[in-house]
Amino acid sequence: MDENAVRAMIKDHFDASTDDIVRASEIYADEAVLEFPQGRERIRGKAHIIAFRSAYPARVTFEMHRTIGLLDLWVNEYAIRYDDTKPLHVVGIMEFRDGKVVRERIYFGEPWDPPEWRARWVEPMG
């Protein structure tokens, strides 16, 4: 797939994900698999992904930081908020086949306050 086409699909996916789950799910193949390794969960099939996200009990918003990829493997870095709570940092890995996502793995991480002992080697990120 053309890199610009993939980037446009991913952007549209995240732009629609808060308010239009069906449109956001156009990126997925019918047999797509969505995985959450930290919760040891797997959702099989686009229809189940749509049902799961449509039933979600919180309003979910996204702030994209970076999308990188090549050919059929793309990585998205973003922050996700549930009902305007503190953002969680997320990395999502999308595998494409025939122009659609066939597997997505999403990893979540909560922010933390870094310990003082390492301050001399690091700089704060904005």
pTM score, whole prediction: 0.91
What's the mean pLDDT in 45-65? 96
Confidence band for 28, pLDDT divided at 50, 70 and 90 = very high
pLDDT given at position 62: 96
| Strands ordered across the beta sheet of 100-109 | 41-44, 28-36, 100-109, 88-97, 73-82, 60-70
Q: Where do the domains of the chain lie?
A: 3-110
Arch. (CATH architecture) of 3-110 = Roll (3.10)
pLDDT given at position 84: 84
Q: Which two tokens stand for residue 2?
A: 């053309």
Q: What is the pLDDT of residues 75-97, one digit of tens each?
A: 999 999 999 899 999 999 999 99
The contacts of residue 53 (CB under 8 Å, 6+ apart) are: 17, 21, 24, 25
